[in-house]
Structure 1
Amino acid sequence: MAPPPSSTPKTLHVITLVLKVAMFALLLASLIVLVTATATLPVDLFTQLTVHFDDVYAYRYVVASIIIGLVYALLQIAFSIYHFVKGNPLIIGNGGFIVDFCGDKVMSYVLATGSAAGFGATKDLKALADARGLDFDDYFDKAYASSSLLLLAFLCAATLSVFSSYALPKVVTN
């Protein structure tokens, strides 16, 4: 596939900025949904058991991947806005292209594994809770929703990764 024509750099910058903002928004929504997921189960007449997201190790990994993604997306948004407003990138030379390419690849993997960990843990824990007759459906619905939003953020990161790979052949040949 050929790189985009050089006559549309502004359009490409706008598209990548929109994808970065969408990724940030999806990650923020995913974080909010997951950290608000709690479930309370009565143990006996006077005791209740409350389960939070941080009681499950896989959900801690999901939150870590979301936070890493949020920081990366925020930095990328700032760099893109600077590039869009000033007309030249913040990192002079070919280093910016390589940082974008490698960062987008790594971020794609981090978000994909975070989403997979969320889906896997939720499926296994829901099956265990259902087998025991425990009603944690709201808790697991929020976990599924958070993992779904994280998966959509991964798709944004993967698309950004494809766009950043278009600029790489130009860098390598120069």
Structure 2
Amino acid sequence: MAPPPPSTTPQVITLVLKVFMFALLLASLIVLVTDTTTVPLDVIFELKVHFDDVYAYRYVLASIIIGLVYSLLQTAFSLYHLATGNRLISGDGGFVFDFYGDKVLSYVMATGCAAGFGATKDLKALADARKLDFDDYFNKAYASASLLLLAFLCAAVLSVFSSYALPKMVNES
């Protein structure tokens, strides 16, 4: 008698988390790259600020792009696995890739999120001290960092799932 097929519920849950993480990262990217403001300094001069004028926001952008590429790759792997029942990377290599990839990605996204929040808080304090109106600019930066934080939480949960899957799969082979 053949053993019953394994449940696809954990695979579907991880796929949903990967898609949700991708959507959050995409929204964070859109909010971040549209973050610009123009502040009049006096009657003649005005100051135009883009997100990429701040080095910390460039790091946030890099962490978002790394997260998007990784989550898109992992989503494709998960869809292939659900559709065929086979893993694209055979043997233990796929589980090891998931394990270390999820760990690295979660750290990259956590540090990107922290850089975004930290830079925004410090720059907002400077702008407020000089009585400059950058509120919309900083609100968008906070929104982007918040979306990145939610994506990091998805990556952290996926990291826990891959931590549980690795020893189980390595012991079965």
Question: Same fold by TM (over 0.5)?
Answer: yes
Q: Per-residue deviation at 1:48?
A: 1.7
Question: 1: distance between equivalents of 2:102 and 2:28?
Answer: 19
User: How many pairs align?
Assistant: 169
Q: 1:1-174 residue pairs with structure 2 within 5 A?
A: 9-173=7-171, 174=173
Question: 2: distance between equivalents of 1:132 and 1:8?
Answer: 62
Root-mean-square deviation over aligned CA pairs: 1.3
TM-score, normalised to structure 1, is 0.93
Segments ≥4 residues shifted beyond 4 Å: none
Q: Per-residue deviation at 1:168?
A: 1.3
Identity %: 76
Could you say what secondary structure the match of 2:132 adopts?
A: coil
Aligned pair in 2 of structure 1 residues 143, 8: CA closer, same or farther (>3 Å)? farther
Question: 2: distance between equivalents of 1:8 and 1:138?
Answer: 50
Could you say what secondary structure the match of 2:8 adopts?
A: helix
Q: Name the counterpart of 1:3.
A: none
Name stretches of at least 5 consecutive residues in structure 2 with no aligned partner. Answer: none
Could you say what secondary structure the match of 1:51 adopts?
A: strand
Name stretches of at least 5 consecutive residues in structure 1 with no aligned partner. Answer: 1-5
Question: 2: distance between equivalents of 1:11 and 1:124?
Answer: 44
TM-score, normalised to structure 2, is 0.94
